[in-house]
C-alpha cells in the first residue's frame, strides 16, 4: 500500500467473512486474481451512456435533489433486516451436469455460480412465497438462478471461453450492420481500440461461431458474420427453463418470484 510517497507491505487483520473489490480500467487482469474472483464488466452501451449523462445533468438542475445519506441509511437498514440463514440449492447437481467441464477453471468457476445463487436467495429472503426447509434454511429457487445467470454470463464467457463479453457483442453488431467481410483494422475503427483488444474480441466471436475467419497467405485476415446465429444464443450456463423442467420431474421448488432477470428493480428485492 502507498504510505505517504512510498509503497510498503502492510499487514491487515480483518474479522471475516471479508469481501475484496478491485477495479481496473482495462481488460487485462492478472490470472492469479482472475480465477479467484467474479469479473463484472461496465455497461458500455450507448443507452447506458445516455442514462449516465441524464443522471449527471440532473445534479445541476436543482440543489440537493438527491439525499445520499437517506439512500445510504436505506441500504444499511436492509442489511440489518436480513437474517443469517443457510441456503440450500436442491437443483445444484442438475446444474453441475450441465456445466462446461472442458477446462480445469470450471472447478473454481462452478462454486462461484452457486455462491451468487445463495447470495440472491439471502437478499430476497423476505419476498412473498419464499420457501424454507424444516430447519429454517432458505431454499434457492430457479428465479434465484435466473438472477445469478444474468449477472454472471459475461464473466463466465471470459473465464471459460466459448461465450462472448458485452464488448464483443457490440463488435458483432457493427459487423452485422456492415453486412460484408471486414478486417481487424475496420474492427479497431468501429470500437476505437488497438489491435490487441480487437484481436481478443474477434477471437471470442470466432470461437463462439458468430464470426467466420478467412485468411490467405500474405494477406490480412477477413471476417464475416455467420448467419442465423446471435450472441444471445451463446451461453455457457443452462437456461432457467431447462432447470425448471428437471425440477418439475423431481419435485424441487419452481417458485417464481417477482423478478424475471437481474435485479433491475431494487424496490422489489
Which of helix, strand or coil describes residue 239?
coil
Q: Please report the pLDDT score of residue 200 as a whole number.
A: 87
CA dist list (Å): 23 to 9, 14, 17, 29, 55: 20, 20, 20, 10, 22
pLDDT score of 68 more than 60: yes
Q: Residue-wise over 74-107: b if at least 16 C-beta within 10 A, else e?
A: eeeeeeeeeeeeebebebbebbeeebbeeeebbe
| β pairing state of 138-139 and 87-88 | parallel
Instruction: State how far the Cα of 140 lies from the Cα of 120, in Å rounded to an integer.
Output: 8
The answer to whether the beta carbons of residues 269 and 263 sit under 8 Å apart is: yes
> What does the pLDDT average to over 74-88?
92
Specify burial of residue 240 (Cβ count, 10 A radius: 0-12, 13-18, 19+): buried
pLDDT of amino acid 262: 41
- Just give the CATH number of 166-233: 1.10.10.10
Q: Percentage of residues in the chain with pLDDT exceeding 90?
A: 36
With 90 as the cut, is the pLDDT of residue 140 above it?
A: yes
Average pLDDT over residues 169-197: 92
Please identify which residue in the block is written with the cell numbers 440472491. 120
Amino acid at each position: 500500500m502507498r504510505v505517504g510517497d512510498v509503497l510498503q507491505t502492510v499487514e491487515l487483520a480483518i474479522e471475516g467473512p471479508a469481501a475484496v473489490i478491485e477495479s481496473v480500467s482495462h481488460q487485462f487482469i492478472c490470472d492469479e486474481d482472475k480465477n479467484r474472483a467474479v469479473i463484472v464488466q461496465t455497461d458500455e452501451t450507448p443507452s447506458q451512456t445516455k442514462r449516465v449523462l441524464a443522471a449527471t445533468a440532473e445534479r445541476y438542475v436543482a440543489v440537493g435533489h438527491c439525499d445520499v445519506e437517506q439512500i445510504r441509511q436505506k441500504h444499511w437498514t436492509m442489511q440489518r433486516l436480513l437474517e443469517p440463514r443457510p441456503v440450500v440449492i436442491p437443483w445444484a447437481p442438475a446444474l453441475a451436469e450441465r456445466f462446461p467441464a472442458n477446462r480445469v477453471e470450471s472447478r473454481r468457476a462452478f462454486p462461484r455460480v452457486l455462491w451468487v445463487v445463495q447470495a440472491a436467495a439471502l437478499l430476497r429472503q423476505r419476498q412473498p412465497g419464499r420457501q424454507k426447509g424444516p430447519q429454517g434454511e432458505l431454499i434457492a429457487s430457479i428465479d434465484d438462478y435466473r438472477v445469478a445467470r444474468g449477472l454472471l454470463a459475461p464473466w463466465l464467457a471470459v473465464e471459460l471461453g466459448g461465450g462472448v463479453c458485452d464488448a464483443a457483442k457490440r463488435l458483432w453488431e457493427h459487423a452485422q450492420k456492415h453486412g460484408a467481410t471486414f478486417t481487424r483494422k475496420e474492427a479497431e475503427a468501429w470500437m476505437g481500440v488497438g489491435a490487441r483488444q480487437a484481436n481478443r474480441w474477434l477471437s471470442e466471436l470466432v470461437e463462439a461461431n458468430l464470426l467466420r475467419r478467412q485468411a490467405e497467405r500474405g494477406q490480412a485476415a477477413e471476417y464475416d458474420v455467420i448467419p442465423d446465429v446471435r450472441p444471445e444464443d451463446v451461453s455457457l450456463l443452462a437456461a432457467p427453463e431447462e432447470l425448471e423442467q428437471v425440477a418439475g420431474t423431481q419435485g424441487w421448488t419452481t417458485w417464481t418470484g417477482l423478478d424475471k432477470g437481474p435485479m433491475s428493480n431494487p424496490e422489489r428485492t
